[in-house]
A and B are shown apart, each in its own frame.
Chain A
C-alpha cells in the first residue's frame, strides 16, 4: 500500500486509486488507415518493465481525475507525478 500524491487532492493511500496501465499510448487519430498489425500494436502491446515505468493512474475514490505516474515497479518508488497532457519528465 503505497502513497500517491494526487496532483489535484494531495497525498492519499493507494487504495483510493485505480491503476490504468502504461502511459503515453495515444489512440490513433485515424484507425481506419492502419493495417491490422499497426492496430494490433496499439490494441494489445504493452510493456511490462521491472524498473522505471510510465503509468496512468486514476483517483477513482477521490476526484476521479486521471494523471501520470513514473514508478519503479521493483520497489514501488514513485519518481514523478504529472497531469494528463503534460510532458513526461526525462529519465
Chain B
C-alpha cells in the first residue's frame, strides 16, 4: 500500500496556518442583519412580564421576537420551545431575540428589554430530580410528541429509561465472594470549542431556506427545520464550511432555529447569530453530568460475576440529545469486561441545568470514570493488582456485551494486547505508588476503555468523485472537517484505490446539503469507516467506468484491463492503454467524434444489521465494532498541599489500521488532553438559583501549554473486517479513560476514594481531612 499508513500532510494544512481558512463567523455581507439574545438570569422561573417598548423604538432595529407561536422542538422528545414561553428552565435559556442592522444596535436594544421573573424551586442534581417530592420540570411530559424508541415517565422528571437485563442476577450474586458498592458524581461542564457556535439564515421569496452553520450535523439541520416548520426538505439548504472544533457540542441543532426564526421575522433577510463565549457556555447545550451507583461482585480469584448499575444522567432542562446519551451509557454500561450478569438502569433526568449535547466519547468517559473507579475499589478489596484484575476479565471474541452482542475477532479489538503494552510503557513492575520523599508521592492509575457507536440504524454516508479534465479527481463527502482530518484520510483512500497521486485528489472541505451526498452526522468516530466505505465504492465505480470506456476505445474485454500510474491498460501488454486524462471527460477520437462523458464515481454506505435496543432487556446491536484500549496516568502528589502534577499520560489503542500515524497520534493526544482537563478541573459551578457561576475561559479553565504532561501513544492493529483497510474509529477513544485513570492514580496517591469530578486539590483535601478525622465533610 502506497498511501495507507503514511503521515501525509493534511489537505487543509496551508489554509489553516495562513489564516485563509474560512469559518461560519468569518462570513460578512453588506445586507446582513445581526441577532442578539436576551437570556434567562435564573435557573427556573416563570416569565411574568416582558417589556419591549424601548427596544422596538430604537434606530436600526428590524424585529424583536419573544416566545409563543413557535413549535416545540427536540430530537427525540419535543419538549423545548426555541425561545422560552411563559417559563424558563435553565440559566442562559433564550427569552427574546433582537434583530438589527449592526451588532451594537442589536445589543443595545436587547439590553433595554425588561423582563419580570418569578423564581421557582431549582433542581440542581439528578438525584434530587428523582425524589418523588421533587417539583416537576415538565408537567406535560406524557403529552409531548416523541419518537417510538424513547420512554418518558409522566409525573416524574425521568425523560427516558434504558434497561439492561443480561443473565441472572441471583446467580451472579450467589457466585460473588467479594462485593463493592460505590457512588459517583460529576456535574455538567462544557466543550469549550475555540470557535463559538454561529449560524446564518435567509429565506427567499420562493420559500427556499438557506442556512450556514458551524455544525457537525448540517443534514440534521435540514431535516429538523423541514419538520419543525413544515418546509419541503429539499427547500432547506444548509452549508457548513470548516468548523472550529466540535467535540460533539456542534451536533445539536439550536442556533440554526433561532437564525431561521429571526430571518422569518425580518422579511427573510440574511441574519447572523453568533454566540459570545458566555452564551456558548450557558445557552448552547453543554457536556452532560452524571450521578452513578455501581455494585460489583467477583469470585475470590477475581472473576467478575455480577454488576448492578444505576446511572442518573443530568440531562438538563430539555431532553434533546440527552435521552440518546443516556441510552449510549447503557449500551456500554460496564468497562470492557466479560460479565455474565448485568442489570443496569440508565435514566435521563430533567434538572434545571443547561441541556446536554453529545461530548467526545458520548457518555463513555463518564460511565468509565464510575466503572473503572469501582474496578480499582474491587482490586483493592481483593488485594489484587488492578491491572491483573482487568487483564483476567478483559472482553474477548466469543464474549457478549451488555446488550448481548456476541463479539468476534473483527467486531472487538485486542484488549489483552493493549493491557500488555500499557504494563510495559508504565513500568508497572517498578511499583504503582512510590514515595519520592520530601512530601511527594508518585502514583500510577489505569483505565481500560471501549466504545461502539450508537447512531441511527439507517444512518447513511455518500461520496462522489468528479473527474477533472487533467485526470485529477474532486472528492465530495458530507463529512465535516471539524479538525479530525477525516477528509485527508478519505483522500488517502481514494488515492490508494484509484492509484493516483494524493495531490491529484482535490478535497472539497465545505459541505452543502444540496450538492453534497449526506453523511448522517460527523459524530461517533464513524467518519472514516462509513465515508471510507462510500469512497471505496465511488472509486470502484469510477474505475469501472474508466475500464468500460477503455474497453470500447481499445476493443478489448473490460476484464482484461488493469489500472496503475493513472492509466487504464491491458494486463498482458501495459503499453496499450489510455491515461485517466484521456478518459476523464469521455474519449475524443481523432476525427472529433466523442463517447462517454465526464467520469463521476458514486458510492454510499449504511452500517449493516444494526437494531434498536429491546425496551425490557436492552438486547440489540448498536454498532459495528468496539474499539478498545488501555490507558494510564502518572501523577506526583504533594501530600501537604494536595496539589499535583500530571507527569505522564499513556494510551494504547487498537486502531484496527493506523491510516495516518501523525494524525492518529494527534487525535489520541488531543483527546487525552481534553480528558485530563475534564477529569482534573473542568466543571460548571451552580448556585442555589441554578446559575452557572463560571461561564468564561478564565474561570472555566481548559489545559494551557505548560500544564500538559508528556503524552505517550501506541497502537495495536487488529483489523475490523468490514471497514476500509481494517480501520477502527479512534477520534474519541483517547479521552475515554482519562478521568478514571486520573481518579485512580490520585486515589492511590492520597489514600482516599475520590469518586467525584473534577479532581481538584480541594476535593482531595476534603476527602483526606474527612479520612483523617473519621468524619467526611
A and B together in one complex: no
Q: Which residues of A contact B (CB under 8 A)?
A: none
Q: Which residues of B contact A (CB under 8 A)?
A: none
